[in-house]
Structure 1
Amino acid sequence: MTGTAMRHRIPDQPAGRFSEAWRFCVGTGRIELALRRDYQDSLALLQREIGFRYIRGHGLLSDGMGVHRPYEWEGARHVHHSFTYVDQVVDAYLELGIRPFLELGFMPGELASGDQTVFWWRGNVTPPRSHKEWAGLVRATLTHLVDRYGIDEVRTWPIEVWNEPNLKAFWQDADESAYHRLYEVTAQAVKEVDASLQVGGPAISPGSDEWMVRFAEFAEQREVPVDFVSRHAYTSGPTQQVPFGVHQTLAPAGRLLEQFATPRRQLQGTRFADVPVHITEFNSSYRPDNPIHDTAFHAAYLAPVLAAGGDLVDSFSYWTFSDMFEEVGPPTALFHGGFGLLTHRQVKKPTYHLYAFMARMGQELLARGDDHLVTRHADGRITVLAWAPVDPTGETAGPDRHTLRLSVPVGTRPRGEAFVRRSTVDEEHGNAYTAWRHMGSPRSPRLEQLDVLHEAAEPGRRHLRVPVEGGRADLDLTLARHEVTLVEVTPLDDETPSWWDERRLLGREEPR
């Protein structure tokens, strides 16, 4: 049903500058994957249409990158540090206009104190058997990066110590004191390379919020450098296993914003109260095989988070940009519930379009509501992001129609017309997942099927004129279920010749 809606009068004067915390960083599968063609093709598309600033992933120091290379010579142990793959990865990132958000981990096998690993690709998650050798590895890596890319460049790269040490799967026994020791040794090694390099942590997962409090207490007591703090945010419940996938309940998307706000609240009254807060991973589900990630529902679910998250943190990094991701093994089908904004072969998902729409928003924030975000560009264009409400419980499909009525300021002319461009993603438009399901869910689509999916992944588009009265235009938007829409309103200078008459297109005589 379509409900009635009051008209929202959007103010002429901006409420402030719209934060770009939503695109400060994006996540990736282990960075070794950046050596692959499909990965680089996907990242190039992402950067052309969205333009993230930083990229963060696991595995910089894992064995697959081949950095830590110990050897025996003349009866003594030595360590050679090799940066062949690191250079190729970072070069590729910088060429595509994105910088690394360095996560230091996991433990090289020859330096590890144990054999516990995580993921299909077996990242070692045990403490170093020699903190001195670990510090040497950190110093050597950062010294090399400074030598290759320059200190002014590397100073802009945040350096995060480990990943989710509060979980036993990611840090042996979730040993807090062992993590504090690792952090202290690592931070000191970073600062020995250059005191202005940015180091931080503890990169905790949801559910162990007191870790942040104790981390701050430890760092204060030991006078350990902390230039930023980081944590992760997810809203999914326990897993319900199916072959090669899971289903999970979801909390309302507002819970993500609550998690974003937690570090600032916890750090009040400490010397870290004003340091940057980075959410270095966020999503609905924490699983890379949950089909919810592929849906239009997901885009509408996350829209209010992207609209408001920048009020709470300095960055919040979507996990991840591509389905080139192998934590539970290589994907078993093109659509498999992967984290990515893009599938393999660069098929865009609805949530990709949410980000692409955000990239077309203006710099001035005019208004924000439960179902809309309105901004203005420097040239006077108005951009409206609107989304239909969703039911995260799954008990209902959500409303089949949602009405939004806006009155927006358009230029300085009291009367005239405006050009409106509307781009839409919903269950049928900009939704390759729906097309893939209709074609029988082919696990490895043929080339002609991929062409159909790329076509189906493009948003629906409409163009029209609306009248401007009193310097304002009225927009009456009806959104379908799970729709996210971008409306761009531009003042119109009509250059139609005086002799033009649509009624004469078929050669009829001039009307009397």
Structure 2
Amino acid sequence: MIKRLTKVLVFIAIFSLTNNIYCQSIGTASAYINVDLKEKVGTMDPVWAWFGYDEPNYTYMKDGKKLLSEISKLSPVPVYVRTHSLLVTGDGKAALKWGSTNAYTEDAKGNPIYNWTIIDSIFDTYIKRGMKPLAQIGFMPEALSTNPTPYRHYWKPGDPYSDIITGWAYPPKDYDKWRELVFQWVKHSIERYGQKEVESWYWEVWNEPNGFYWKASMEEFFKLYDYAADGVKKALPTAKIGGINIAGTGGKSGIEWTTKFVEHCINGTNYATGKKGSPIDALLFHAKGSPRLANGVVRMNMSPQLRDIEAGFKIAAAYPQTKNLPLIIGESDPEGCAACGMATNPENAYRNGTLYSSYTAATFARKYLLADQYNVNFLGAVSWSFEFEDQPWFYGFRDLATNGVDKPVLNVFRMFGKMSGDRVKVTGNRMYSLKTVVDSSIRGAKTEIGGLAAKASKSAAVMVWNYHDEDRQGPAEPVDVSISGVPAKSAKLDIYLIDDENSNSYEVWKKMGSPQNPTAAQIAELEKAGKLKCIQTKKIAIKSNNAQVPLNLKRQAVALIMLAW
């Protein structure tokens, strides 16, 4: 008995020692990314080339026009832009979470007065840059609102979010006037920009009706949608309109509202026409993550965002009438309030630096994978991030630029703009599975070193990131990137990098002493630091159709490898 027990203990000791050595060897093994250019997994559709923001009047202001020019230039295809409050009554002055165009008022007798001046200045800014409106039909003009007082809000960071909900969030007192307003808007757009141009736009009704933004029932919203869609189609039968831009798509409310909206559009009685069904040319929904502050450290959580996306894809795939419709994630972000800075919401401290850029790279890769899994027509994901005019430098807003200086996150989109053709297979020993990320984000003992790759006719692009939910910096790790199937004997190699030393205006600003009134020379330095930086350019040999590219990636870094032959 003692001998047997001794043998068992010896076996356990040997097994434990061997297993520990094995685990240590796995833990210390070099990270690798393998890319097979011959194995197509999908197309590198520019689903990232969609942007949006709350404040429409920033569009034609100084820094707004500058940023829109930069966004339009980074994309090989027209960028779509969505903004709130295009029908809100007011003087056109911008404020946080507020905008107005004064498109609709009434005279003393209640007759409509249409004024397209401000809307034209917004859409002109897009069209001149080759961009397209994702035109939001909302919110309710003061003269049409069933509960117009109070109407103008004066929300600021730290105030209750519900304070923004005023008279613009209510149904119209006259649905025929509502339909006519939409008809006149589309008609005017055709006259100004031409039918072919307007046919390329998408129109959508309202925003998050299951949340703060709609002060009425679900059925009342369907009525609002039907009358708006009827106005659009009467002006232009070939126009594309959709909805429902729901909040919390993966939650009980989001699933219920989206499902019933789809069923209403398929089989319901149209409130505007009395006929069966309502036009739906695209299905839109929202997806948000959930960062938190844990022991003084920001911890991201992409799981809720990806579950929202998965829920929207599942609903679309469940109906023959919607399974092939264009799907647009109308807002797709790490959390929900772009104008809530880190001073009032410390969990939003991720927004200025490289945690935001690496998060963006890792989440977009999963959006592609979810679309592949559910075989849906994924058209775009709107990043609800723009700029805030005349605000403090690096205040912690969810924006792409601050005072005209680009943040690191914008450089991820510049990287995406260099990727085209087919998406190809990527594997790696440090990549988290799609299921793991959807279920629990990226929170393991080690960071994720993951990749996304595309192949065009004479080039390839590989994006590689080193990401973890916890906002901690870390030393550079060696990453061996192997690219097989290169049809050449040599190629030009370019490597672009975003980390704490490259493509990063925020770190340069901090080294300046975080000035709130930087000099002209400092601003010029910050603008230069905000651009995407190429850290290496050279010609390399391709051996047996295989390219070996070594990287050193710090935690939160994103690299783009470009091969051209």
Please give the range of the TM-score, normalised by the shorter of the 2 chains: 0.7 to 0.9
Q: Supply the distance in 2 between the matched residues of 1:264 and 1:488 (Cα, whole angstroms).
A: 31
Q: In structure 2, do the counterparts of structure 1 residues 139 and 451 end up closer, same or farther at CA, with 3 Å as the change threshold? A: same
**Residue 109 (str. 1) matches residue 156 (str. 2):** no
Partner of 2:536: 462
Q: In structure 2, do the counterparts of structure 1 residues 198 and 387 end up closer, same or farther at CA, with 3 Å as the change threshold? A: same
Q: In structure 2, do the counterparts of structure 1 residues 239 and 99 end up closer, same or farther at CA, with 3 Å as the change threshold? A: farther
Partner of 1:352: 410
Letter in 2 for 1:375: A
Partner of 2:4: none
1:248 Cα offset (Å): 6.8
**Residue 445 (str. 1) matches residue 518 (str. 2):** yes
Q: 2:562 aligns with which of 482, 488, 506?
A: 488
**Residue 221 (str. 1) matches residue 249 (str. 2):** no
Structure 1: runs of 5 or more not aligned? 241-245, 325-329, 492-512
Identity level (%): 22
Partner of 2:323: 273
Q: In structure 2, do the counterparts of structure 1 residues 20 and 196 end up closer, same or farther at CA, with 3 Å as the change threshold? A: same
1:385 Cα offset (Å): 0.8
Q: 1:58 aligns with which of 84, 89, 93?
A: 84
Letter in 2 for 1:147: E
Q: Supply the distance in 2 between the matched residues of 1:420 and 1:238 (Cα, whole angstroms).
A: 39
Structure 1 residues 278-317: Cα deviation after superposition (integer angstroms, max 9, x where no partner)? 1011111222223312110111112122234245222101
Letter in 2 for 1:190: V
Partner of 1:315: 380
Structure 1 residues 193-239: Cα deviation after superposition (integer angstroms, max 9, x where no partner)? 22222111111111432211121233322212222111111112579
Contact persistence 2:36–2:484 (CA under 8 A): yes
Q: In structure 2, do the counterparts of structure 1 residues 68 and 303 end up closer, same or farther at CA, with 3 Å as the change threshold? A: same
**Residue 83 (str. 1) matches residue 116 (str. 2):** yes
Structure 1 residues 475-501: Cα deviation after superposition (integer angstroms, max 9, x where no partner)? 12221111001111234xxxxxxxxxx
Partner of 1:387: 465
Structure 2: runs of 5 or more not aligned? 1-23, 90-99, 156-163, 270-276, 342-347, 372-377, 432-449
Q: 2:475 aligns with which of 400, 416, 422?
A: 400
Partner of 2:309: 260
Structure 1 residues 106-155: Cα deviation after superposition (integer angstroms, max 9, x where no partner)? 11112111136586476721111211211111111111112222222212
Contact persistence 2:84–2:138 (CA under 8 A): yes
Q: Supply the distance in 1 between the matched residues of 2:81 and 2:153 (Cα, whole angstroms).
A: 20
Matched residue count? 467
Q: 1:142 aligns with which of 172, 175, 186?
A: 186
Q: Supply the distance in 1 between the matched residues of 2:171 and 2:297 (Cα, whole angstroms).
A: 33
Q: Supply the distance in 2 between the matched residues of 1:434 and 1:95 (Cα, whole angstroms).
A: 34
Q: 1:294 aligns with which of 330, 348, 352?
A: 352
Q: Aligned with 2:418: secondary structure?
A: coil
Q: Supply the distance in 2 between the matched residues of 1:474 and 1:247 (Cα, whole angstroms).
A: 36
Structure 1 residues 32-62: Cα deviation after superposition (integer angstroms, max 9, x where no partner)? 2222122112111221223552110001111
**Residue 172 (str. 1) matches residue 215 (str. 2):** yes
1:88 Cα offset (Å): 2.1
Q: In structure 2, do the counterparts of structure 1 residues 12 and 273 end up closer, same or farther at CA, with 3 Å as the change threshold? A: closer
Contact persistence 1:372–1:386 (CA under 8 A): yes
Q: In structure 2, do the counterparts of structure 1 residues 116 and 393 end up closer, same or farther at CA, with 3 Å as the change threshold? A: farther
Partner of 1:31: 56
Contact persistence 1:425–1:460 (CA under 8 A): no
Contact persistence 2:105–2:142 (CA under 8 A): no
Partner of 1:187: 229
Partner of 1:337: 396
Contact persistence 2:30–2:480 (CA under 8 A): yes
Q: Supply the distance in 2 between the matched residues of 1:269 and 1:364 (Cα, whole angstroms).
A: 28
State TM-score, norm by structure 1. Answer: 0.84
Q: Supply the distance in 2 between the matched residues of 1:104 and 1:187 (Cα, whole angstroms).
A: 10
**Residue 284 (str. 1) matches residue 320 (str. 2):** no
Structure 1 residues 223-270: Cα deviation after superposition (integer angstroms, max 9, x where no partner)? 122221111111125799xxxxx997531x354333222123124036
State TM-score, norm by structure 2. Answer: 0.77
Contact persistence 1:294–1:433 (CA under 8 A): yes
**Residue 472 (str. 1) matches residue 519 (str. 2):** no
Q: In structure 2, do the counterparts of structure 1 residues 177 and 117 end up closer, same or farther at CA, with 3 Å as the change threshold? A: farther
Q: Aligned with 1:230: secondary structure?
A: strand
Q: Supply the distance in 2 between the matched residues of 1:398 and 1:442 (Cα, whole angstroms).
A: 23
Q: Supply the distance in 2 between the matched residues of 1:306 and 1:118 (Cα, whole angstroms).
A: 36
Alpha-carbon RMSD across the aligned residues, in angstroms, is 2.7
Q: In structure 2, do the counterparts of structure 1 residues 239 and 202 end up closer, same or farther at CA, with 3 Å as the change threshold? A: farther
Range with greater deviation from structure 2 (208-217 or 104-113): 208-217
